[in-house]
Amino acid sequence: MNRDQITEQQRSRLAMVYIRQSSLHQVVLNVESGRRQRGFVERAVHLGWHSDRIVVVDEDMGESANRIGDRLGFEQMVSMAALGKIGLILAVKVSRLARANRQWYHLLDICAITGTLIGDVEGLYNPKTYNDRLLLGLKGTMSEAELHMIKQRLVASMRQKAERRELRRRVPAGFIWDDADRLQKDPDERVTAAIDLVFHRFEAVGTIHQTHLFLVEEGIQLPVRAAHGRGLSSGVDVESSKL
């Protein structure tokens, strides 16, 4: 559909510009993508919405679109669309809105009932009309298939590295990769003492709950893996007499 087919009733509602990037890594490094998505505010203005009727939905930055129930911004937007408060939803691509057909078709059904339009970089669509709904359905299917192919490539790459014995996964606290890429116990005696204490106490009391209570009551701090993958948190306080 084109701009002239937008009704005044639709323009009287809100226009939502949905912005999402799949990971915090992308948010930090791929700044241009976020800037491009925010630029869709100008498109909403071009389509006839006043700036005070345009809402940017960016609560889901750093969240993957293949998870259901983890995107607060998307869920709130769907709820508002169901109440007939939204006249237009804009996103750079369909994949920004949803990667799973369950979410995508739920949104299309609601938009078709309430007369909410959907727009992306390629055009403007009315889910109530057959041709636009067919095209949106194909876009959603392709988006879900694209995610499947991305996962396949990632798994294949991991398997190849594993076959070459080059795959290195993040290991739990208490273990490290040494300079020869061998998995070893952490050389820090405070770390090994703390972990040994957990196992010895569990063997004595028999339950995780009682073990946890003991650690809390004694004020014992346990090692955790730091963000960079090899360090440990400070303050591991374990007396050797408690082992």
* Residue 240, pLDDT score: 34
Query: Rounded to whole angstroms, how far apart are CA atoms 221 and 194?
Result: 8
Exposed e or buried b per residue across 113-127, where buried means at least 16 C-beta atoms within 10 angstroms of its C-beta: ebbbbbbbeeebbbb
Q: Where are the domains of the chain?
A: 3-159, 175-242
Return all residues near 66 (Cβ < 8 A) that are at least 6 apart.
99, 100, 147
* Residue 210, pLDDT score: 92
* Residue 243, pLDDT score: 34
The better pLDDT of the pair 242, 46 is held by 46
- Does 75 score more than 80 pLDDT? yes
In words, the CATH class of domain 3-159 is alpha beta
Mean pLDDT of 197-207: 91
Query: Rounded to whole angstroms, how far apart are CA atoms 30 and 35?
Result: 9
- Looking at the annotation, which residues are catalytic? 22
| Spatial CA neighbour of 4 closest among 54, 53, 55, 46 | 46
- Does 24 score more than 50 pLDDT? yes
Mean pLDDT of 152-181: 82
Exposed e or buried b per residue across 172-182, where buried means at least 16 C-beta atoms within 10 angstroms of its C-beta: ebbebeeeeee
Query: Rounded to whole angstroms, how far apart are CA atoms 32 and 30?
Result: 6
DSSP designation for 157: H
Query: Rounded to whole angstroms, how far apart are CA atoms 101 and 190?
Result: 50
Name the average pLDDT for the chain: 84
pLDDT bin (cut points 50, 70, 90) of residue 238 is very low
Lowest mean pLDDT among 54-58, 76-80, 92-96: 92-96
CA-to-CA dists, residue 165 to 158, 162, 177, 181, 202, angstroms: 10, 5, 13, 10, 35
- Does 65 score more than 80 pLDDT? no
* Residue 136, pLDDT score: 94
* Residue 69, pLDDT score: 60
